[in-house]
Structure formats: structure tokens, C-alpha cells
Amino acid sequence: MEGFPGLAAQTAACSAASNLLAQAAPLLATMHCQSKVLNLLRPLIDIVRGLPSPPVQAMHDFMRAAAELQPCLFSTTPAALLPLIHDLICLEIRALTCFLNNLKAAQSRPTTLPAVRSSYAPIVNPLKLTDSLFVAAGLQPPQPQALSGDIATDTTAVKTFIATLQSAADALGGC
């Protein structure tokens, strides 16, 4: 990936904090709905234990927890997923474009080629993790090609994959 050549290097502490926040935000967002599901369990257990006459308080607690969970139930509809998928596709296009730039630069500096090639998997693997999101939104999940080890072949494969992603992005409003 390309950096920011015009900026001064961040301190290690600032870089670490920035990277951790970038990783924590999506984790916390996904845990929000999971915690709402977990909040249903205690009153549900109390209701089941109290059958055939469940405690009124457990029923009340369950209904409150269910109401708090309701917005999460609509977060995985196709309409709700399309903006996320669009943004992921556009991010992949930017990252793969940076990868191509780095691959081109590595041609004149062969010692950097292994490091550049090793950066490909961290770019495309997150996209592989979203297959179920694409399917839930009614879209065909994109399938990145493995690198061959030949610069010309890899460049063509990545350009083809970018074009595939760009077509998908264009169908969703473009990047």
C-alpha cells in the first residue's frame, strides 16, 4: 500500500493507537447486536424455567430485550447490506490499485518483490470473508485470483479483478 509521502512519520504510539482504533470500531459495531441477543437469554431462561406459568418480570424483561434487538434484525436485509458492499468493493479497488503500483515499482527493485507479493493476501482475504454478505444481498461474491509468481501474469490478473470489481461498483453507483 502507498503511504503519505508528504507527511511526517507518526510516532509508534500514535500509529499503534490509530491502528487499534481502526480495528476496534468494526469489532465493537458487530458486538453491539451480539450483546442484544445475549440480553435475551437470561429472561428467556427464566421464562422456560417458570413454565407453564412464567414469571411476569421475566416476560417483561424479555419483551424489553426483544425490542432493543429489533433494529439489529433489519441490519442484514439486502437494502441495508448494499452500501457496505459498495464501500468494501471501492476499498478493494483502491487497495489493489496501490498493490499494482507497488508491483510495478518492485520490477526495478527485485529485492522488494517478495514483500509486495506478500501484501496481496491481506488485501483480498477480507473480501473473501464477505461471501455471505454478497449472497444475502443477492450478489455474486467476487473471487480474486491467486498470484502466479510472474509479474506480467499477476499484473494482468489483478487488473482483470479490478475491472470485475469496478463493474460491480458501477452497478451500485460507482466509486
Peptide bond into 78 cis (omega under 30): no
pLDDT over 60 (residue 50)? yes
pLDDT over 90 (residue 72)? no
pLDDT at residue 4, rounded to an integer: 43
Share above pLDDT 90 across residues of the chain, in percent, rounded to a whole number: 54
Average pLDDT (16-24) is: 77
Q: pLDDT tens across 142-171, in order? A: 999 999 999 999 999 999 999 999 999 999
Q: Which residue has the higher pLDDT, 109 or 59?
A: 59
Average pLDDT (63-87) is: 86
- Alpha carbons 40 and 137: distance in angstroms, whole number: 27
Average pLDDT (38-55) is: 95
How buried is 120 (Cβ within 10 angstroms: 0-12 exposed, 13-18 middle, 19+ buried)?
buried
pLDDT over 70 (residue 78)? yes
Q: What is the dihedral of CA 47, 50, 53, 56, to 10 degrees?
A: -50
pLDDT at residue 7, rounded to an integer: 44
What's the pTM?
0.65
